Amino acid sequence: MSAEQYALDVVERLRISKDYSSVIGELSKVMSDFGFNSVVVTGLPRPGEMLDTLLLSANWPEAWGERYLAKKYDQVDPTVKRVRMSLQPFRWSDVREQTLSAVEKKILDEATEFGLNDGIAVPIHDLNGLEAGVSFGTDRLLIDSRAQAALHLISIYAYECLRRQAPDRSGGQKPIHLSRRERECIQWTAAGKTSWEIGQIIGVSEATVNEYLYAAARRLNTRTRPQLIARCMREGLIN
């Protein structure tokens, strides 16, 4: 099975999931299938907030989790800093290539003691200033770019599912409406087509396709195409 099909199958199971535990079960299976030994889903704390109040799921070595939270490592963790600044997934090892302070290097070195030498971090941001992320950890990272793209979509969708079930989630949102063209462009984007290819398929210019996608993203409060696709799937706006 291709990585793309794997991701779509997981998203479909998440779409019909009925409770928090089933979402966590899917994430745990994804973690195992891709060779990871930890996965954490969390919002990023603002000044004065504690990370443990924002954790939606934390499947990591218990002793490492206790140390990380007790010592408030999130405040100086270089991977967290990178999540705040990035819209695209990145490997933990990419952060090691930067100039790190002694404290930042110490956190990464300590993580290796718990089998967390490398991993993939997926930043999640929206236009309201939301900062969150999904992070998969492992001792040795052995995935290609297609698998990383699959994890990107799965992570965003899983985060949306968990956030939607959070006790403090606000309700009463207005129904979301997309035009037929916007839906078409998003559907073809989900199928892996570029803006130019979509334009050829539906008979409009590449710039017009980008305008449709931008308008839809603004309406759905998303900043990246994978996030737009995931939210549209969650809301049942595309198949």
Residue 168, pLDDT score: 46
Contact between residue 31 and residue 39 where contact means Cβ atoms under 8 Å apart: yes
Q: Which fold has domain 180-234?
A: Arc Repressor Mutant, subunit A (1.10.10)
∠ CA 124-186-145, nearest 5°, is: 55
Q: Where do you find CATH 1.10.10.10 in the chain?
A: 180-234
The string of pLDDT tens digits covering residues 31-64 is 999 999 999 999 998 877 888 888 888 888 888 9
∠ CA 224-238-227, nearest 5°, is: 15
Positions of the chain with pLDDT lower than 70, given as ranges: 165-176
Residue 206, pLDDT score: 87
Residue 169, pLDDT score: 41
Residue 204, pLDDT score: 86
Residue 62, pLDDT score: 86
Residue 166, pLDDT score: 58
Q: Where do you find CATH 3.30.450.80 in the chain?
A: 3-164
Tokens 């967290």 map to which residue?
80
SS (H, E, C) the chain: CCHHHHHHHHHHHHHCCCCHHHHHHHHHHHHHHCCCCEEEEEECCCCCCCHHHCEEEEECCHHHHHHHHHCCHHHCCHHHHHHHHCCCCEEHHHHHCCCCCHHHHHHHHHHHCCCCCEEEEEEEEECCCCEEEEEEEECCCCCCHHHHHHHHHHHHHHHHHHHHCCCCCCCCCCCCCCCHHHHHHHHHHHCCCCHHHHHHHHCCCHHHHHHHHHHHHHHCCECCHHHHHHHHHHCCCCC
CATH of domain 3-164: 3.30.450.80
Residue 23, pLDDT score: 86
Reported pTM: 0.73
